[in-house]
Amino acid sequence: MGKRTEIRTNCGWYNPDMESEPDSRLYRPELIPRRGEFTAWIATGLLGLTLLVLLFTSQRVSWLFVILFSLLFLSASVISLGNWMDRRTVIQISQDAITYQNGLRRVEMTWADVQEVRAEPTTWGKRVQVRGKQTYFIFHTLGEVRHKGELKGRMGFDKGDEILNQIVLNSGLQVMENQGDRYYYARQ
């Protein structure tokens, strides 16, 4: 295989191996606004500067202050990691297989490898778990965040229901259990 290159797109870095093959479709999730990430880093920075000033002026620093700084730093880091993974998440559906990639892991399953699919409603969209013989992945269908009737953000895959239907059809699964909005698909 030749040298791997990365190409910058408006959705972030992606693996060129995930480029669309003939008769395959690429799906990317909606990206949530990064305001929360920026706010967390600004609060962490301000608290860190205050902590440094207190330390350099020989002021006594409460352990509560250090714990608060540590928690803020951890929160900002986790938010950044989540946003980074979202920007790199891709689902590719081809005639032979499905591939899921999120920056930290890559899962590829042929349609025969897909053993079961579970779909259950959450606060924002459906949580869909696709299980194979050796591995699994999870994605969310489109969810909208509203406040007082006003749309504040969207998350998950805009065409998540289409992805779910394609997985069930292409892998030959059938509904085994249906409890309201919860579905369990498997082979007979």
Q: What mean pLDDT do residues 134-155 have?
A: 90
Average pLDDT over every residue of 57-84 = 92
Integer angstrom CA distances of residue 182 from 60, 127, 175, 177:
55, 10, 11, 8
**Residue 178 pLDDT level (bands cut at 50, 70, 90):** confident
Q: Which residues, including other chains, have CB under 8 Å from residue 94's CB and lie 6 or more apart?
A: 21, 23, 24, 25
Contacts of 184 (CB under 8 A, 6+ apart): 116, 117, 118, 175, 176, 177, 178
Cβ-contact 128, 141 below 8 angstroms: yes
Q: How many CB atoms lie within 10 A of CB 111?
A: 18
Whole-number Cα distances in Å, 56 to 44, 75, 163: 18, 26, 56
More confident call, 100 vs 18: 100
pLDDT of residue 139: 95
The predicted pLDDT at position 24 comes to 84
- Mean of the pLDDT values across residues 156-180? 91
Structure tokens belonging to residue 65: 């202050």
Check residue 1 and give its pLDDT: 39
Structure tokens at 49: 């500067």
Say yes or no to pLDDT of 8 above 60: no
Residue 129, pLDDT > 70, answer yes
d(CA 147, CA 22): 41
Check residue 21 and give its pLDDT.
Answer: 58
For residue 107, count CB atoms less than 10 angstroms from its CB and return exposed for 0-12, middle for 13-18, buried for 19 or more: middle
